[in-house]
Amino acid sequence: MSPETGAPPREIPKERSMLLQKEMIAGHYQDLASAPETGRKVVYTFVPGNLTELMRSFDVLPVLPEINALQSGMRKLSGDYISEAEKQGHSEDVCTYVKCDIGMLKQGNVGPTGQPLPEPDLLLLSYTGCFTFMKWFELLRQEYDCPVAMLHVPYQADGTIHDHHRAYVVEQLESEIIPKLEQVTGQQFDEDRLRAELELSAVAEDDLVWVLESAKNVPSPIDAYFGGVYYIGPMFTAFRGTQEGVDYYRTLRAEIEERLAAGRGPITPDGELEEERYRLVLEGPPNWTSFRDFWRMFSEEGAVVVASSYTKVGGLYDRGFRHDPSRPLETLADYCMGCYTNLGLPSRVDLIADYIREYRADGFMINSVKSCNSFSVGQLLMLRQLEERTGVPGGFIESDLVDPRYFSAANIKNRIESYLQMLEQKRGTAA
């Protein structure tokens, strides 16, 4: 029901890519649910720096705990899971992704689609800029009797991937990660199969970048933050290196090409946006427990996010990176080191400043997430530096990932509206 009118929400027609993605994700969770019967091996890992192609070359199924957490948030399940974790002794200040995942585990480990998740055959940690991942896996290791593999990824302190960094990661892939996958699956590493999957990844990555960069047009045919989280889903999770992933991005690109040719705006929770009034760049993850309400706070004002940092947590493809099948392990290393969360603050400021200029943004906003230090640390400094460097005013709002207690709809809406009114006043003054 609509909180304003009491009327049933209007059903928004689903585009082919949305239906296709829903089928893909449902199929993946079905494969996971049936893994104990089919004998498929299961690896728990994370989104930033994940080794999807390498895992798939061993025919294993990935489970991504933070994806389960955000899906639980969107389905209004995370509050109970977080309460369960806090009853187990976890602090209110602990990352709510972690608490949601632990609470889900303690309540039977039923996944977001209502099907049970299998226990892992391997815990594979690619440490990419988020120290919490390490503590998260320590907790999971206490719950599961299975091997653990850790890939330590050097931080990009100066914004450069150095040769010795790459060699360090490759050596770990050869001596730690691949042997553990061989041990768990009973299969030998097949480099030719990995090369074939990397080739498919590069094809899909080309189309994803085209879709994201379509937002440089005025009006933008997409929202690159709220809509963008759907676009990046297959790429950042289980479908990189697959023909399914290639087909999805081909379908998505064709839809956006049609929208662009017709001069149409992005799809919103209430249908197609009729008028683009503000072009924004957004830093920080979204809130998942009130995702559509959060989106409406922007779309109802005609504000379109034309670029965002969050859609780069699983790879900076729009800065030129592609998986390279001619150098399979080296390209996996570069991918791990190149994710947004593995960048230092100066590199993050550089990236967002480039987005503001390239996408002709009227302003930028930061959503500071209470429990996500990987994003929130340094954001006020970033705000000041971006305003100084670009001359574009910034806005600041606060919420959380999946804890409904830390989403104050009235406060956030007031801040967004006040910020957009300020942008409007600046336009009037300039005119």
Q: Each residue of 277-333: pLDDT tens digit?
A: 999 999 999 999 999 999 999 999 999 999 999 999 999 999 999 999 999 999 999
Helix, strand and coil percent figures for the chain, each rounded to 5: 55, 10, 35
Q: Is residue 10 part of a domain?
A: no
Closest to 364 measured CA to CA, from 306, 317, 425, 421: 306
Per-residue pLDDT, averaged over 140-167, amounts to 93
Cα-based distances in Å from 317 to 9, 52, 186, 359: 36, 16, 33, 16
Q: Is residue 2 part of a domain?
A: no
Q: Whole-angstrom Cα distance, residue 60 to residue 94?
A: 30
Q: Is residue 3 part of a domain?
A: no
Q: Whole-angstrom Cα distance, residue 69 to residue 101?
A: 6
Q: Whole-angstrom Cα distance, residue 335 to residue 314?
A: 9
Q: Is residue 153 part of a domain?
A: yes
Classify the C-alpha dihedral 70-365-309-129 as positive or negative.
Answer: negative
Q: Whole-angstrom Cα distance, residue 95 to residue 247?
A: 35
Q: Whole-angstrom Cα distance, residue 26 to residue 20?
A: 10
- Give the tokens for residue 402: 């999946």
Residue 7: what pLDDT? Answer: 45
pLDDT of residue 6 exceeding 80, the answer is no
- Reading phi first (left if > 0) and then psi (alpha if -120 to 50, else beta), residue 49 is in left
The model's pTM is 0.94
Adjacency order of strands within the sheet including 363-369: 303-308, 278-283, 363-369, 394-399
CB 138 within 8 A of CB 324: no
Q: Whole-angstrom Cα distance, residue 47 to residue 396?
A: 26
Q: Is residue 8 part of a domain?
A: no
pLDDT of residue 377 exceeding 90, the answer is no
Per-residue pLDDT, averaged over 383-392, amounts to 97
Lowest mean pLDDT among 124-128, 214-218, 309-313, 348-352: 124-128
pLDDT of residue 16 exceeding 50, the answer is yes
Average pLDDT across the chain, whole number: 93
pLDDT of residue 339 exceeding 70, the answer is yes
Q: Whole-angstrom Cα distance, residue 175 to residue 190?
A: 15
- Give the tokens for residue 190: 């097949």
Domain extent for 221: 16-430
pLDDT of residue 373 exceeding 70, the answer is yes
Lowest mean pLDDT among 102-106, 134-138, 149-153, 249-253: 134-138
Q: Is 278 helix (H, G, I), strand (E, B) or coil?
A: strand
Of residues 423 and 2, more confidence is placed in 423
Residue 2: what pLDDT? Answer: 35
Q: How many domains are there within the chain?
A: 1
pLDDT of residue 420 exceeding 60, the answer is yes
Quickly state the pLDDT bin for 114 (edges 50, 70, 90): confident
Residue 219: what pLDDT? Answer: 97
Residue 1: what pLDDT? Answer: 38
Q: Is residue 5 part of a domain?
A: no
Residue 10: what pLDDT? Answer: 53
Residue 136 CA, chain-centre distance (Å), reads 18
Residue 431: what pLDDT? Answer: 61
pLDDT of residue 274 exceeding 90, the answer is yes
Classify the C-alpha dihedral 359-365-371-375 as positive or negative.
Answer: positive
Give the DSSP letter string of 366-421: EEEETT-HHHHTTHHHHHHHHHHHH---EEEEEE-SS-GGG--HHHHHHHHHHHHH
